[in-house]
Amino acid sequence: MSQTVEKYFVPAPSRYPIFGSIALLLLGSGAAMWMNKVDHGPALVVLGFAVLLYMLFGWFGQVIHESQSGKYGKQVDRAFRWSMGWFIFSEVMFFAAFFGVLFYVRVISVPDLGTELQHLFWPGYEAAWPTAGPYNRGEEFLQMGWFGLPLINTALLVTSAVTLTIAHWGIKKNSRAQTNIFLALTIVLGVIFLACQAFEYHHAYAEGLKLTTGVYGSTFFMMTGFHGLHVTIGAIMLTVMLVRSLRGHFTAEHHFGFEAAAWYWHFVDYVWLLLFVVVYIL
């Protein structure tokens, strides 16, 4: 009895990886020149972003075309799932480093500055969180509370996780209208989240809390800022999925592009819940 063996798709050589390398070179060198006040630095950064966008549109467009033409089988789908899983794991490690920094500062570094020996170097310093550090004693700044905008942003992201799940259900039952409506709602909720975060940053700066406000300001803006960047990336990914859905790209059996974006968005949601507890409440 013969058994059908699925063929593994091997893509043709692509020109896009070299453009990605050029983009990174331009961005890195341009940023270094910009920080050192070299005239051509900003222009190289802009050029680097332009090359990066060309690579992203071209490469992902090629992958979408290959997928829609039926070239991808179960083996390729499984490879994509493993790849996205490892990518999200790398993002987990990325944020784990930030949470590790906050743990070290709050549990080890700041309490150590309050010991009797350290008082010889920093007399009068109160080792309590939040703090701007011994170099910035007496500097007044706003301590970010959990009530208000942070709580609203939490509700927005939790709601967006629900709307995205409903959109996924729409794909599974071939209800394209349900998918499009709830996917659009998810994107709108993400944009509102970013607008609220921008307003929160403006308010914080007005009240004296800045990126340069010692260890509290640097950890707060570092962690929430990088999370906001990931929300922006996730919203772009979901927007691409919405455009693809409007063009009729996804089916109940073939929609991993949507699932990959959904995995990323749910990861962003989980990170924010942890941030909300650790940064704003504790």
Same domain flag for 189 and 54: no
Query: Token pair of 214, please?
Result: 């010692």
Same domain flag for 95 and 194: yes
Q: CATH number of the domain that 42 lies in?
A: 1.10.287.70
Average pLDDT, consecutive stretches of 10 residues, N- to C-terminus, the chain (282 residues): 63 89 95 90 94 93 87 86 95 95 91 80 80 72 82 95 95 92 96 95 87 87 94 95 91 89 95 94 86
Same domain flag for 199 and 85: yes
DSSP 8-state class, residue 280: I
3-class SS letters over 24-37: HHHHHHHHHHHHCC
> CB within 8 A of 76, min separation 6: which ones?
8, 9
Same domain flag for 236 and 260: yes
pLDDT at 1: 46
Same domain flag for 181 and 133: yes
Same domain flag for 63 and 146: no
pLDDT at 167: 95
Residue at which a domain ends, from 55, 71, 87? 71
Same domain flag for 67 and 120: no
pLDDT at 54: 95
For residue 5, tell me if it sits in a domain: no
80-85: long-range contacts (C-beta < 8 A, 24 or more apart)? 80/256, 80/260, 81/256, 84/260, 84/263, 84/264, 85/263
Q: Give the residue from 100, 40, 84 showing the smallest Cα distance to 223.
A: 100
For residue 3, tell me if it sits in a domain: no
DSSP letters for 223-273:
HHHHHHHHHHHHHHHHHHHHHHHHTT---SS--HHHHHHHHHHHHHHHHHH
Residue at which a domain ends, from 25, 54, 71? 71
**Amino acid at the residue 35:** M
Q: Count Cα neighbours of 165 within 13 Å in the Cβ-side half-sphere.
A: 8
CB 53 within 8 A of CB 47: no
Same domain flag for 138 and 54: no
Same domain flag for 228 and 270: yes
Query: Token pair of 211, please?
Result: 């990126």
For residue 256, tell me if it sits in a domain: yes
For residue 192, tell me if it sits in a domain: yes
For residue 2, tell me if it sits in a domain: no
Query: Token pair of 241, please?
Result: 């999925």
Same domain flag for 105 and 199: yes
Domain count, the chain: 2
Q: CATH number of the domain that 149 lies in?
A: 1.20.120.80
Domain that holds residue 28: 12-71
Same domain flag for 158 and 38: no
